[in-house]
Structure 1
Amino acid sequence: MTGHDERDTTTDADRIDDGDNAGDVHEPHPGVPTLGRDEQPSIFVPDDGEPEVADGGDERSAATDGGVKSATGGSDSAELDPTTYDPVDVFPGGDLDLRDGADSCYKCTSCDTSCPVAAVDDEFPGPKFQGPEQWRLKRKDDHDIDASITSCSNCMRCDDACPSSVPLSQMHNEARGQFVERQMEKLSREYVRNRILSNYRFFASIASKVPRLANFATNLPGAMWLAEKTLGVTGEREFPPFATQTFRSWWRERGGAQVENPDKRVAYFHGCYSNYNTPEVGKAMVRVFEHFGYEVLVPPQKCSGTPMFANGMLKDARRHAETNVEELVAAIGEGADIIASCTSCSMSLRQEYPELFDIHGIEDVSNHTFEALEYLRIYEDLEGALADSELDEERAFAYHAPCHARNQGLERQAVETFRDVDGVVIEDVGDSCSGISGTYGWKKEKYETSMKIGEEMFEHMEHAEGDVGMTECPTCAMQMEHGTGYEIEHPLQLLADALPIDA
């Protein structure tokens, strides 16, 4: 590479080098809906953060309707200026305003009928109430956010269902963050449990230092029972085992990238689970992309923030996002696109980051992010590469498309990629939600709801020809295995087996 800066790269093969020449933006861009980005820049700033100052030196006032100053000037004054009158100050004090998006809702209830939680829980009011209705009804210091916002699983199916592009999940994320920040007791068992689940990366990094001991401890009789009694984590699930070697450790051990190609570079955002629990997915990704001549970078990174969004921990999510954006922008400067093997991670980088945070370079990260198989289908001749492939023995798979894959238009990619490969039978098990939705199905009070949502998927898997499941989402894989007992693979693993690649 050329254009190295003075960053120390001698002790960590994971770090990328900063370059002087930015890579060209590939076309087409990822097909993620813009949603709330069409109103005004959507920003989550922690309440304890420094106030931002506009170019003219004035502190930013609370926005109400696409950036129009409040009719009361942000105060409690009853004197109204008719030229700027707006009857509602929604979520006052913040920079996020989705009033325009809320007004686009014409109550068709498409979001409610698509919601997997509402389908099995009669007490859940549904996405329409959680989003536009709350934004319409909230008055300044007059109306608390409804506690039912914590029953939203953040599957984001409502975004895909809405015919008028109401930014529903964006509304839910902001409302959930406001609820947790202002209304949830910080010493409550629920808050402590959710904070722990949200920050899985922190605890996994500790467990990975002694993986065998950690696996032994979590499998002790009564370990999950104790977790349920003390924290409210369901005792019905089996804790996923930690790998004896993390992906990043394997990456350092092999000496980093084995292909150097300034014209074809990708930066791998592996996420937490592929690093600590299923490094075989990351290894498959590296082997496949190197087979196609790509130089793979593995930049320093933190959690994508997906579990934090789902639990309303927006301050935690922003801290992680700041690191991720900084490192990924540096990789883009080296000419790399960003590749994720988890569809929730790619969804977070593409959509939720620019919707919720105002961080320098965040739109560049969004525009350069792809899911791994999606990227190869766009820029490589996968059909030709697989034309003469044949597995050693025939294998049949029951494929489930994660909700976050559907939101990116990727629900058919695995089936379309492998349907003509000799020795592979792959069957789509339908469009139902798996029900686990990340940390949602790990909560004691949500476990039964999670399993009810997943019943349709379990039934379809059991009637499919294959007895091996396939999905791009690690927590969907947990639910599939939990509900059926099947072994679960990632599409990248099958791709690595089908291509002529040395192990």
Structure 2
Amino acid sequence: MSDAESTDEFEPVQVFPESEEMDLRPGADDCYKCSTCDSECPVAAVDDEFPGPKFQGPEQWRLKRKDDTETDDSVMSCSNCMRCDSACPSGVPLSQMHNTARGSFVENQMDKLSREYIRNRILSNYGTLAWFGSKVPRLANAVMSSSVVQTVNEKVMGITAEREFPEFAEQTFREWWSERDGATVQSDEKRVAYFHGCYSNYNTPEVGKAMVRVFESFGYEVMVPPQKCSGTPMFANGMLPDARRAAETNVAELSAAIEDGADIIASCTSCSLSLRQEYPELFDLEGIEDVSAHTYEALEYLRIHEDLSGALEESEVDPRKFAYHAPCHARNQGLAGQAIELLDGVEGAEAEDVGDSCSGISGTYGWKEEKYDTSMKIGAEMFHHMEEAEPDAGMTECPTCAMQMEHGTGYEIRHPLEVIAEALVE
């Protein structure tokens, strides 16, 4: 029995294993129209015109079984929060259906010269934009924060002018990693490969630095393999060829790290979910099952392999209260409560969960002019609970949820790893 078969790791649904091409239509038969997914959908809750995940998934695939109907354009209003996956009592592969439908819509029905397509392609490939911005961060930050540029972006590209563009760090995480000459701990027994993703590299390298310091404090050798975007924004926008190209690089590099004895960890819950679930659902690449089986969120990994709670009970930080939001993609991995549990053991830290509502931004979704109001309506409940908590700062593992939390409340937002690093190392 293989390692993947002997664990409880996520296993993608094999709906139609005999087919060389992915066909999700038979999986639609598992849906018995209970509408639980629709009741959990944050977009359907605030947008009466959105038909919901049941229609986007099994009902569309049932129609496609009967004839070659086109994909309904409402699939582009799905935010890819993936809450429907967790809600479905019969295990229908809803988000897999949605991702596949979006890919089909973009490939076959969207005008490649349209403003929407060009805008979505740019947002999907944020890593490319960030690479350029990181070369001249001060200039890029000044330009992108200009009200004139924001207005032009909205009028020409359909990128909302309501949001503050995230600042590029003056030194990326990978530049910091190179400057320190890589790992300071060497170990044949305890080794992890860090998938930092785009945002922790270009915008919040302090999260990556905190991750490295925490893992090294437990004796881990940290590897930072070459990598591309996890593909999460590409899945959400139906840019599956772009996502596949990124996945080919990531699977090859991470498979090599696994062969060197490393497990894969991510500080962003959307990145870990992408590697764990969306990759094996959507792509057939050599080594992809191993990557899925060996991927963990960073704190999840330490909770499994180390006495992290015990170490934190002996630690303290400057007294602060945090309003914690669990990202949808953390909930989908069963990780919603871990930050609260861990920080409860740290003297000086108080963390209050602000509820199970979606933040509403869903990566690139809330950056689109036509989706901005919807994203803010979805986030209203979270904003309200944050204000009621009266914290010193907010907290979440997802970088775009952090954007939405700060945008809607004005509070500074921290990553749990930063607080834990402060407690254990700094």
Q: When you count helix as a share of all residues, which structure comes out higher?
A: 2
Q: Which residue of 2 aligns with 1:63?
A: none
2:143 equivalent to 1:166: no
Q: Which residue of 2 aligns with 1:3?
A: none
Q: Which residue of 2 aligns with 1:289?
A: 215
Q: Contact 1:36/1:170 (CA < 8 Å) preserved in 2?
A: no
Match of 2:268 among 332, 342, 354: 342
Judged with a 3 Å threshold, the aligned counterparts in structure 2 of structure 1 residues 154 and 110 are, in CA distance, closer, same or farther, namely same
Q: Which residue of 1 aligns with 2:32?
A: 106
Listed as ranges, the matches of 1:147-166 within 5 Å are 147-166=73-92
Question: What amino acid maps onto 1:395 in structure 2?
Answer: R
Judged with a 3 Å threshold, the aligned counterparts in structure 2 of structure 1 residues 29 and 497 are, in CA distance, closer, same or farther, namely farther
Q: Which residue of 2 aligns with 1:248?
A: 174
Cα distance in 2 for residues equivalent to 1:313 and 1:29: 32
Q: Which residue of 1 aligns with 2:139?
A: 213
Q: Contact 1:30/1:370 (CA < 8 Å) preserved in 2?
A: no
Bigger Cα displacement from structure 2, 234-243 vs 95-104: 95-104
Match of 1:232 among 158, 161, 168: 158
Q: Contact 1:179/1:312 (CA < 8 Å) preserved in 2?
A: yes
Match of 2:194 among 256, 261, 268: 268
Q: Contact 1:35/1:165 (CA < 8 Å) preserved in 2?
A: no
CA-atom RMSD in angstroms: 1.5
SS in 1 for 2:215: helix
Match of 2:398 among 430, 449, 473: 473
Cα distance in 2 for residues equivalent to 1:169 and 1:272: 23
Residues 472-497 of structure 1: CA distance to partner in whole angstroms, max 9, x if unpaired? 00000000000000000000000001
Judged with a 3 Å threshold, the aligned counterparts in structure 2 of structure 1 residues 105 and 311 are, in CA distance, closer, same or farther, namely same
Q: Which residue of 2 aligns with 1:36?
A: 13
Listed as ranges, the matches of 1:410-449 within 5 Å are 410-449=335-374
Q: Contact 1:36/1:98 (CA < 8 Å) preserved in 2?
A: no
Shift of 1:222: 1.6
Listed as ranges, the matches of 1:156-195 within 5 Å are 156-195=82-121
Question: What amino acid maps onto 1:352 in structure 2?
Answer: E
Q: Which residue of 1 aligns with 2:378?
A: 453
Cα distance in 1 for residues equivalent to 2:271 and 2:218: 23
Shift of 1:36: 2.2
Judged with a 3 Å threshold, the aligned counterparts in structure 2 of structure 1 residues 27 and 394 are, in CA distance, closer, same or farther, namely farther
Match of 1:497 among 414, 417, 422: 422
Match of 1:223 among 141, 149, 172: 149
> Which aligned runs of 4 or more in structure 1 are off by greater than 4 angstroms?
24-31
Judged with a 3 Å threshold, the aligned counterparts in structure 2 of structure 1 residues 246 and 180 are, in CA distance, closer, same or farther, namely same
Question: What amino acid maps onto 1:488 in structure 2?
Answer: I
Question: What amino acid maps onto 2:49 in structure 1?
Answer: E
Cα distance in 2 for residues equivalent to 1:200 and 1:146: 26
Residues 27-81 of structure 1: CA distance to partner in whole angstroms, max 9, x if unpaired? 984643x3523x345xxxxxxxxxxxxxxxxxxxxxxxx54xxxxxxxxxxxxxx
Shift of 1:465: 3.8
Gaps of 5+ in 1: 1-23, 42-65, 68-93
2:407 equivalent to 1:482: yes
Question: What amino acid maps onto 1:390 in structure 2?
Answer: E
Judged with a 3 Å threshold, the aligned counterparts in structure 2 of structure 1 residues 113 and 357 are, in CA distance, closer, same or farther, namely same
SS in 2 for 1:395: strand
Q: Contact 2:12/2:280 (CA < 8 Å) preserved in 1?
A: no
SS in 1 for 2:192: strand
Question: What amino acid maps onto 1:338 in structure 2?
Answer: I
Shift of 1:99: 2.8
Cα distance in 1 for residues equivalent to 2:5 and 2:65: 44
Q: Percent same amino acid at aligned positions?
A: 73
Q: Which residue of 2 aligns with 1:373?
A: 299
Q: Contact 1:396/1:426 (CA < 8 Å) preserved in 2?
A: yes
SS in 1 for 2:159: coil
Q: Contact 1:337/1:368 (CA < 8 Å) preserved in 2?
A: yes
Residues 447-493 of structure 1: CA distance to partner in whole angstroms, max 9, x if unpaired? 00000000000000001141300000000000000000000000000
Judged with a 3 Å threshold, the aligned counterparts in structure 2 of structure 1 residues 163 and 405 are, in CA distance, closer, same or farther, namely same
Shift of 1:440: 0.2
Q: Contact 1:30/1:369 (CA < 8 Å) preserved in 2?
A: no
Match of 1:197 among 104, 123, 134: 123
Q: Which residue of 1 aligns with 2:227?
A: 301
Cα distance in 2 for residues equivalent to 1:30 and 1:465: 39
Judged with a 3 Å threshold, the aligned counterparts in structure 2 of structure 1 residues 31 and 462 are, in CA distance, closer, same or farther, namely farther
Question: What amino acid maps onto 1:304 in structure 2?
Answer: S
Q: Highest Rg: 1 or 2?
A: 1
Cα distance in 1 for residues equivalent to 2:12 and 2:200: 29
Cα distance in 2 for residues equivalent to 1:496 and 1:168: 37
